[in-house]
Homo-oligomer: A and B are copies of this chain.
Amino acid sequence: MNIESFLSKHSKPALQNDPPGSWMPQLPEKCIRLSSGYPDPSLVPVEQLNKAVNRLLEEEGDLPLHYLGSPRIDQLKTQINHRLKERGMDLEEEELLITSGACQAIDLIARVFIDEDSVVAVESPTYMEALEIFQNYTNHFISIPIDEQGLQTEKLEKMLEDRSAKDMPLPRLLYTIPTFHNPTGTTMTAARRKHVIKLAEEYNFLVLEDDAYGDLYFEKPEATLKSLDQSNRVLHVGSLSKVVAPGMRIGWVAAGKEFTDALNWFKKDLDQPFAQASMAAYLEQIDLNERLYTLRTAYQQKRDVLISALEEHLPDSVSWNVPKGGYFIWVKADDLDTAHLLDQALDAGVAYVPGKYFFLPSDEKAAYLRLSFSYASEDELVEGVKLLANVLKRS
A residues sitting closer than 8 Å to B (CB atoms) are 1, 3, 5-11, 14-15, 19-21, 24, 38-39, 41, 44, 46-47, 49-50, 53-54, 57-58, 61-62, 64-67, 70, 100-101, 103, 107, 111-115, 118, 129, 132-133, 136, 172-173, 204, 206, 231-233, 241, 245-249, 256, 258-259, 262, 264-266, 268-270, 272-275, 277-278
Given A1-B231, A14-B266, check contact A61 B38 (CB 8 Å).
no
Q: Which residues does chain B contribute within 8 Å of A204, judged by CB atoms?
A: 5
Counting chain B CB atoms within 10 Å of each CB, the highest count among A65, A113, A246 belongs to A65
Q: Which of B66, B107, B232 contacts A1 (CB 8 A)?
A: B232
Given A268-B133, A270-B101, check contact A246 B61 (CB 8 Å).
no
Tell me, in angstroms, the Cα distance from A14 to B54 when the chains sit together: 41
Contact assessment for B247 and A67 in the assembled complex, using a CB-CB cutoff below 8 Å:
yes
7 nearest A-B pairs in the assembled complex, by CB-CB distance: A65-B245, A247-B273, A65-B247, A44-B62, A21-B269, A247-B274, A3-B258
Q: Which residues does chain B contribute within 8 Å of A64, judged by CB atoms?
A: 247
Contact assessment for B11 and A262 in the assembled complex, using a CB-CB cutoff below 8 Å:
yes
Q: Besides the contacts A65-B245, A129-B268, A136-B266, what 15 more A-B pairs have beta carbons closer than 8 Å?
A: A3-B256, A3-B259, A8-B113, A20-B264, A20-B265, A38-B67, A50-B58, A65-B248, A66-B245, A66-B247, A245-B274, A247-B273, A249-B270, A249-B274, A249-B275
Tell me, in angstroms, the Cα distance from A65 to B39 when the chains sit together: 10
Tell me, in angstroms, the Cα distance from A54 to B232 when the chains sit together: 43
Tell me, in angstroms, the Cα distance from A50 to B111 when the chains sit together: 36
Tell me, in angstroms, the Cα distance from A24 to B68 when the chains sit together: 11
Tell me, in angstroms, the Cα distance from A240 to B136 when the chains sit together: 29
Tell me, in angstroms, the Cα distance from A85 to B100 when the chains sit together: 30
Q: Which of B14, B118, B269, B275 contacts A265 (CB 8 A)?
A: B14
Contact assessment for B41 and A61 in the assembled complex, using a CB-CB cutoff below 8 Å:
yes
Q: Which B-chain residue is minimally distant from A241 (CB atoms)?
A: B67
Contact assessment for B246 and A66 in the assembled complex, using a CB-CB cutoff below 8 Å:
yes
